[in-house]
Amino acid sequence: MTEVELDEILTARWPLVMRRVMADGSDPWLKGFVRSVARHGKRPGWRPSFKQEQIMRRLLAEIGRPPEPELQLIED
């Protein structure tokens, strides 16, 4: 994970992951993990470990994208 990619994840995408995990009744370990990444991500020079990076990528793939807008059919 490059520094630019990590910065983009922590500033733009991780807040969405945090909101969803905290709101959906996830297990306490997962809640602690997303809080820990957010807290440590504020430290200059912090980099996730290999295992943390794998978990972060999995979470981003599963829930880190904004919901797709519902398309509405326009009839003539």
Per residue in 1-53, pLDDT tens?
889 999 999 998 999 999 999 998 779 999 999 999 999 999 988 999 999 99
Rounded distance, CA 76 to CA 74, Å? 7
Its sign, for the CA torsion 55, 58, 60, 63, is negative
Quick one: pLDDT band at residue 76, thresholds 50, 70, 90?
A: low
What angle is formed at CA 38 by the lines to CA 32 and CA 39, rounded to 5 degrees? 85
- The pTM is what? 0.76
Place of tokens 């398309």: 71
Rounded distance, CA 41 to CA 17, Å? 14
Which token pair is 2?
A: 């490059």
